[in-house]
Amino acid sequence: MTRSEIEMIINKYGNKESSILAILQDIQAKEKYLPREALELVGEKLNIPISKIYRIATFYRAFSLMPRGKHEICVCMGTACHVRGAQRIVDQIKLELGIRPGETTRDQNFTLETVNCLGVCAAGPVVAIDGEYFGKMSPAKVEETLKKFWSEKKKEEANGKT
Amino acid sequence: MVSFTIDGQPVEAKEDQNVLEVALDEGFDIPHLCYNENVKPYGACRLCLVEVSRKGRSRITTSCNYPVMEGIEVFTSTEKVLRARKMVMELLLAMCPGSKLLQEMAKEMGINEIRFKKEDKDCILCGLCARVCDEVVGAHAIQFAFRGDRREVCPPFMEQPKDCIACGACVVVCPVNVIGMKEEGDERTITRWKRTLKMKQCKICGNYFAPWYQLEKFREKANLPKDFFDVCYTCRS
């Protein structure tokens, strides 16, 4: 993200201190995380101490200070999904990708997150990847589901093997 | 003027005062940790709980951020208040079991055991250091970060805070005394924030009296002449 892009976002909200959340959300949406340089620039432009911006950026779960993967996997851990074995889905994804919830794979392709309810309890256990919902999940279905989101490199590697 | 009663005793207060400061001035003993008269009340430590009766309704509330009102009745040590306060104290102690001050306060309140899972934190998260840095010093070097059980006061990005002027206000003001400061040779370090700054030497007595960076900031802010801080405070007077 360039300096002028960030400045454009700040100007869009009228250069107001009170718009800090909206500005951070826009940066997060575009970059999928909040780069340190962006936070420092926002602080400078709006005259907000960096300590206060860091407070906001670390408080909300919607913000990340670390680069995120290309695809975001949200495993629903709500009550309905939980009783139908959501934990086993998480465990299987952990095995498959080698990351824990909140972490990103080394190739920057996947980020794993757990959420408390996705609102489609009838279809549980539910996993959402980039907003696409996969219902009635089971550990056995994890690999096949993730395959659709594999990076090109990974796909080639898999083809070479077979 | 506003008049009300504390434990039955009539008191008078100015309009913008809060219950705690009036009570303390009148000699009532209300335990408190996060209150400091130089910054806005924050109600974080929850120890200054009192019972306030207003228009026939009574409630337990923190006195530090409760504004004085005409005709209210404040009770500082009813059974209800003492019980609530004791619980708060026990929880604080469970969070920071190593704190000498908290141990003493708890003992005074008659707490002999902690029924909760003990943590090994030392900071009670009252935020006084951050508030003083913000409101009084104006350096904005430290602030709360994260949330829930991971909440803590720290410099941005958990690094040496570049806005910190190592004035030591946070060190002085911390109620549980967990922010350390040391001076070695020409360096001053605020240990908790890992901030080290070079100090300036007085032209007359030769003592290292304050960090360069701090003096520059002051000079800038107050528009003082370049050589203003060449001599230390003692030698100047």
Size of interface A-B (CB pairs under 8 A): 33
Domain boundary among A59, A90, A105: A59
Same domain? For A90 and A33 the reply is no
CATH classification at residue A80: 3.40.30.10
Sign for the CA dihedral angle at A83, A85, A87, A90 comes to negative
Q: Are A50 and B163 within 8 A, CB to CB? A: yes
3-state secondary structure of B178: coil
Question: Is residue A18 located within the same domain as residue A90?
Answer: no
The ipTM assigned to this model is 0.90
Total structural domains within chain A: 2
Diameter of chain A measured on Cα atoms: 58
How is chain A split among helix, strand and coil, in percent rounded to 5?
50, 10, 35
A132 and A76 belong to one structural domain: yes
Residues A127 and A82 in one domain: yes
Evaluate whether residue A159 is within a structural domain: no
Residue B152 has pLDDT above 90, yes or no: yes
**Interface contact A52-B143, CB threshold 8 A:** yes
Strand ranges across the sheet with B49-54: B9-13, B2-6, B73-75, B49-54, B57-62
Within 8 A of A49 by CB-CB distance, chain B residues are 134, 140, 143, 163
Q: What is the pLDDT of residue B87?
A: 97
What's the pLDDT band for A154 if we cut at 50, 70, 90?
A: confident
Inside any domain, residue A64 = no
- In this predicted structure, the answer to whether residue B130 has a pLDDT above a threshold of 80 is yes
Measured between beta carbons, which residues in chain A are less than 8 angstroms from residue B156? 50-51, 53-54
**Strand pairing of A132-134 and A127-129?**
antiparallel
Residue A57, pLDDT score: 96
Helix axes A86-97, A139-147, angle to 10 degrees: 50
Query: pTM to 2 decimals?
Result: 0.86
How far away is chain A from the Cα of B6, in angstroms, using its nearest Cα? 38
CB contact under 8 A, A52 and B147: no
**pLDDT over 90 (residue B183):** yes
CB–CB contact A59 B140 (8 Å): no
Average pLDDT over residues B131-160: 95
- pLDDT surpassing 90 at residue A15: no
Asked whether residue A43 falls in the same domain as residue A88, the answer is: no
Q: Please tell me if residue A51 touches chain B, with a CB cutoff of 8 Å.
A: yes
Percent of the residues in chain A that have a pLDDT greater than 70, as a whole number = 99
Mean pLDDT calculated for residue range B165-192: 96
Domain range for A82: 71-151
Contact residues on chain B for A42, CB-CB shorter than 8 A: none
Is A21 in the same domain as A84? no
Q: Is residue A31 part of a domain?
A: yes
A147 touches chain B (CB under 8 A): no
Whether the predicted pLDDT of A156 surpasses 90: no
B145 touches chain A (CB under 8 A): yes
Asked whether residue A98 falls in the same domain as residue A127, the answer is yes
Across the interface, of B146, B147, B156, the residue whose CB is closest to A51 is B156
pLDDT of residue A40 exceeding 80:
yes
Q: Rounded to an integer, what distance in angstroms lies between the CA atom of residue A112 and that of residue A102?
A: 6
Share of chain B above pLDDT 70, in %: 100
How many angstroms away from the CA of A60 is the closest CA of chain B? 8
Q: Are residues A104 and A82 in the same domain?
A: yes
Residue A162 lies in a domain: no
Q: Do the beta carbons of residue A10 and residue A45 sit within 8 Å?
A: yes
Residue B125 at interface with chain A, using a CB cutoff of 8 Å: no
Domains of chain B listed by start with CATH number: 2-108 (3.10.20.740), 128-236 (no CATH)
Tell me, what amino acid is at B138? G
**Residue of chain A nearest B148, judged by CA positions:** A59
How does the average pLDDT of chain B come out, rounded? 95
> Mind listing the pLDDT tens digit for each residue in B33-88?
999 999 999 999 999 999 999 999 999 999 999 999 999 999 999 999 999 999 99
Contact flag A54-B140 (C-beta cutoff 8 Å): no
Over the stretch A71-107, which tens digit does the pLDDT of each residue have?
A: 999 999 999 999 999 999 999 999 989 999 989 998 8
Does residue A55 share a domain with residue A16?
yes
Is B140 within 8 Å of A52 when comparing Cβ atoms? yes
Inter-chain touch B156–A59, beta carbons under 8 Å: no
Q: Is residue A12 part of a domain?
A: yes
What pLDDT, on the 0 to 100 scale, is given for residue B16?
93
Residues A106 and A128 reside in one and the same domain: yes
Please tell me if residue A47 touches chain B, with a CB cutoff of 8 Å: no
Q: Does A159 score more than 80 pLDDT? A: no
In a domain, A97, yes or no: yes
pLDDT of residue A158: 76
Decide if pLDDT at A161 tops 80.
Answer: no
| Contact between A51 and B146 using a beta-carbon 8 Å cutoff | no
Q: SS3 of A115, please?
A: strand
> Would residue A160 count as lying in a domain?
no
Q: Are residues A88 and A143 in the same domain?
A: yes
Is pLDDT of B185 > 80?
yes
State residue A153's pLDDT score: 77
Same-domain check for residues A83 and A147: yes
Instruction: Write the Ramachandran bin of B206: left for phi over 0, alpha for psi from -120 to 50, otherwise beta.
Output: left
- pLDDT the model gives residue A162: 59
Q: Is residue A135 part of a domain?
A: yes
| Residue B18: pLDDT band with limits 50, 70, 90 | very high
